Amino acid sequence: MSRIGKKAVPVPAGVTATIDGGTLSVKGPKGTLAMPLVPDIAYAVEGGSISVQPANDSKTARAFWGMQRTLVANLVTGVTDGFTKTLEITGVGYRAAVQGKNLKLQLGYSHDVDYPIPEGIAIKTPDATTVEITGADKQQVGQVAAEIRRWRKPEPYKGKGIKYRGEYIFRKEGKKK
């Protein structure tokens, strides 16, 4: 039995959830999100909540149960509050700025990196070394953050690079004379 899957996902006021065809659509103040339904799982929208149960007693149904409930909860959270990832840039001369529909990164290369901001994502730079990525889709926010981080991962000797806020970088001592 899945401890996570047993709990129904509460749908707050102002959010509507509908099941049509093979998709679950959730509409709220931050937009509309949809996800395809898995045939081994039974979904039900009733009384201000969405319940997820295994449709049969197969191993795949039990394996997907808790994950599908979490994906449904992420849809509801996304259209109500949204998701945010914060990146911190460390290094001399490393900086970021939003210019129109692009994120301009200076990361020690001979050229500036221009990252086009995808649809459904908002990027803010409160200061030159902080990048805040917000959006309704948790997967898309994480993917954009990972793509930006990939340009200059944090290195263990000086700690230079792009890291997630709260991420610990294991530091190494370096050469000795």
Secondary structure of residue 142 in the 3-state scheme: helix
Tokens of 44: 């039900």
Residue 1 pLDDT greater than 80, yes or no: no
Domain boundaries 9-80, corresponding CATH code = 3.90.930.12
107: phi > 0 → left, psi -120 to 50 → alpha, else beta; which? alpha
Count how many residues are written for the chain.
Answer: 177
> C-alpha distances in angstroms, 162 versus 89, 90, 153, 168?
5, 6, 5, 12
For residue 153, how many other CB atoms are within 10 A of its CB?
Answer: 11
Give the whole-angstrom CA distance, residue 176 versus residue 163: 27
CATH, range 83-164: 3.90.930.12
Q: Are 39 and 66 in contact (CB under 8 A)?
A: no
Q: Render pLDDT for 12-40 as a digit per residue (tens, 0 to 9).
A: 999 999 999 899 999 999 999 999 999 99
User: What is the residue extent of each domain of the chain?
Assistant: 9-80, 83-164
Mean pLDDT of 107-111: 95
DSSP 41-53: EEEEEETTEEEEE
Share of the chain above pLDDT 90, in %: 89
pLDDT band (50, 70, 90) for residue 122: very high
Establish whether domains 9-80 and 83-164 are of one fold: yes
Q: Is 80 exceeded by the pLDDT of residue 150? A: yes
Output the pLDDT for position 21.
Answer: 87
